[in-house]
C-alpha cells in the first residue's frame, strides 16, 4: 500500500474555494498564450519546446510550464515526439485569424478588464466604474476603445467572436418570419443581422452603430456575401433618429446603462415601431432571487467596473419594456453568453 492509498479523501467542500482561488491564474495563462501568438504559430504546424521558445524569444523552462497547463486544459496536444499542436478548440476560438476567434475579447480582457478587476473592492465600496482610477481618464469604454484604430479593431473582433457563438441561437429562439426589416441598434460587426438574414430569407436588415464602427460592419457583411440584404447606417442611438423597421434588436446594449437611459432608449424604439412590431433584447438574465447564474452575476460585476449598467432579472426587463409601451413580453434562456427576450408593441 502506498502513502497515497492510506490518505483520507480530500474534503469536497473545499473544491469550490480552490477552484475560485485558481481562477485568475488560469485566465492570465490564457491571456499570455494568446498575446504570444502561440495558437497562431501552432496552427501552421506542430513544434517542439525549444523551437517555440527560440522563435518567440522565451525561456524554455518557463514556456514548458505554460504549454503543459494548456495541454492539461485541452487546448494543446503533446505528441510522443515532444511536439505541441492545437486542439480543435484552440484552432477555432484562439487563432486571431479564425472566423470564430475570441482572441479579440481575450486581448481586451487582458489589457483592460484584468486591470480594472483589480479595483473591484473600490467599485463595490463606491458603486462606480473604475475608468478614471485605472486609466486616468473620465471617458468610458467606447471613447477609450475607439481612440485608435487598433483598439477599435481589437474590441470589435472580441464582440464579433462572442456574437458568432450566440447569434445563430438568438435568431432561432423566436419565429421571426412575420418581420420584414430588422435594425440591429448598436449592432457592432453585424453578426446578428447576418445570421437573422441567413435563417429568414424574406428578412432584410440594417446595422446601426457609431460612424467609426460602420466600416467594420460593412466589411463583415460583405465577407458573408449579404451586402444586398444587410445595409449599414451610422449614428448615436440616443440622439439620432433610428432607421425604420418592424423589428429592432438590442444585443448587449441595455446592460451598459442605468435604468434612466434604458427607459429613454426603449421609449424611442417603441415610438419608432408600427403596431405589432417587435424588439429582441439579448442579455444575460439574472435569477429573480439574484443568486445565479454565475456567468450573469460575474457579468453584472463587470458592468459595475466598466460602465454604469448591470445585468437584470426577467421581471426587471418586463417592467421596463411594458413601461415603454410594449404589450407582450417573453424571455427565453439560451445562454451563456446571452439569453433572449422578445417584446411586441
Q: Which residues contact 209 (CB under 8 A, 6 or more apart)?
A: 186, 187, 188, 217, 232, 234
Could you list the active site residues? 255
In angstroms, rounded to a whole number, what is the distance separating the alpha carbons of residues 72 and 22?
14
3-state secondary structure of 84: strand
CA angle, 237 then 232 then 95, to 5° = 100
Q: What is the mean pLDDT of the segment spanning 122-140?
A: 87
Higher pLDDT, 265 or 18: 265
Higher pLDDT, 104 or 67: 67
Question: What does the radius of gyration of the chain's CA atoms come to, in whole angstroms?
Answer: 22
Question: 10: which DSSP letter?
Answer: P
Question: 9: which DSSP letter?
Answer: P
Residue 143 has a pLDDT of: 63
Q: Which band of pLDDT confidence, cut at 50, 70 and 90, is reported for residue 242?
A: very high
| Residue whose grid cell is 442605468 | 258
Q: What is the mean pLDDT of the segment spanning 65-87?
A: 98
Using a 10 angstrom Cβ sphere, with 0-12 exposed, 13-18 middle and 19 or more buried, the burial of residue 41 is: middle
Fold of 23-93: Arc Repressor Mutant, subunit A (1.10.10)
The secondary structure of 123-169 as a DSSP string is HHHH-S--HHHHHS----HHHHHTSSHHHHHHHHHHHHHHHHHHHHH
Q: Does position 1 have pLDDT exceeding 70, yes or no? A: no
In angstroms, rounded to a whole number, what is the distance separating the alpha carbons of residues 189 and 157?
8
Q: What is the mean pLDDT of the segment spanning 68-73?
A: 98
Q: What is the mean pLDDT of the segment spanning 109-123?
A: 95
Q: Which long-range contacts (CB under 8 A, 24 or more apart) does 89-95 make?
A: 90/39, 90/42, 91/39, 91/43, 93/161, 94/33, 94/34, 94/39, 95/39, 95/40, 95/43
- Each domain of the chain, given as residue ranges in start order, spans 23-93, 172-344
Neighbours of 166 (CB within 10 A): 23
Q: Which band of pLDDT confidence, cut at 50, 70 and 90, is reported for residue 145?
A: low
Q: Does position 4 have pLDDT exceeding 60, yes or no? A: no
Tens digits of per-residue pLDDT, 146-197? 667 777 777 777 778 888 889 999 999 999 999 999 999 999 999 999 999 9
Tens digits of per-residue pLDDT, 276-329? 999 999 999 999 999 999 999 999 999 999 999 999 999 999 999 999 999 999
Fold of 172-344: Rossmann fold (3.40.50)
Q: Does position 213 have pLDDT exceeding 80, yes or no? A: yes
- Report yes or no: 184 and 124 within 8 Å, Cβ to Cβ: no
Amino acid at each position: 500500500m502506498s502513502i497515497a492509498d492510506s490518505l483520507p479523501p480530500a474534503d469536497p467542500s473545499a473544491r469550490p474555494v480552490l477552484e475560485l482561488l485558481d481562477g485568475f491564474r488560469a485566465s492570465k495563462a490564457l491571456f499570455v498564450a494568446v498575446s504570444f501568438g502561440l495558437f497562431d504559430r501552432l496552427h501552421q504546424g506542430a513544434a517542439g519546446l525549444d523551437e517555440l521558445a527560440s522563435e518567440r524569444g522565451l525561456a524554455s523552462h518557463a514556456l514548458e510550464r505554460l504549454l503543459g497547463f494548456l495541454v492539461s486544459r485541452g487546448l494543446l496536444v503533446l505528441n510522443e515526439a515532444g511536439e505541441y499542436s492545437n486542439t480543435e478548440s484552440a484552432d477555432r476560438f484562439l487563432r486571431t485569424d479564425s472566423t470564430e476567434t475570441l482572441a479579440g475579447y481575450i486581448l481586451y480582457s487582458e489589457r483592460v478588464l484584468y486591470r480594472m478587476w483589480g479595483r473591484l473592492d473600490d467599485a463595490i465600496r463606491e458603486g462606480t466604474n473604475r475608468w478614471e482610477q485605472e486609466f486616468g481618464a473620465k471617458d468610458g469604454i467606447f471613447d477609450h476603445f475607439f481612440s485608435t484604430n487598433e483598439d477599435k479593431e481589437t474590441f470589435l473582433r472580441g464582440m464579433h467572436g462572442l456574437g458568432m457563438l450566440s447569434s445563430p441561437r438568438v435568431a432561432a429562439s423566436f419565429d421571426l418570419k412575420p418581420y420584414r426589416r430588422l435594425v440591429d441598434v448598436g449592432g457592432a460587426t453585424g453578426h446578428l443581422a447576418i445570421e437573422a438574414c441567413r435563417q429568414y430569407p424574406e428578412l432584410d436588415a440594417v446595422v446601426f452603430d457609431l460612424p467609426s464602427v460602420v466600416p467594420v460592419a460593412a466589411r463583415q457583411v460583405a465577407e458573408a456575401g449579404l451586402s444586398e440584404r444587410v445595409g449599414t447606417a451610422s449614428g448615436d442611438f440616443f440622439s439620432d433618429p433610428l432607421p425604420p423597421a418592424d423589428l429592432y434588436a438590442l444585443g448587449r446594449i441595455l446592460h451598459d446603462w442605468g435604468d434612466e437611459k434604458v427607459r429613454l432608449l426603449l421609449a424611442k424604439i417603441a415610438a419608432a415601431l408600427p403596431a405589432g412590431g417587435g424588439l429582441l433584447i439579448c442579455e444575460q438574465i439574472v435569477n429573480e432571487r439574484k443568486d445565479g447564474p454565475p456567468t450573469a452575476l460575474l457579468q453584472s460585476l463587470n458592468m459595475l467596473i466598466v460602465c454604469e449598467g448591470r445585468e437584470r432579472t426577467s421581471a426587471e426587463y418586463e417592467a421596463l419594456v411594458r413601461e415603454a409601451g410594449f404589450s407582450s413580453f417573453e424571455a427565453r434562456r439560451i445562454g451563456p453568453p446571452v439569453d433572449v427576450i422578445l417584446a411586441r408593441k
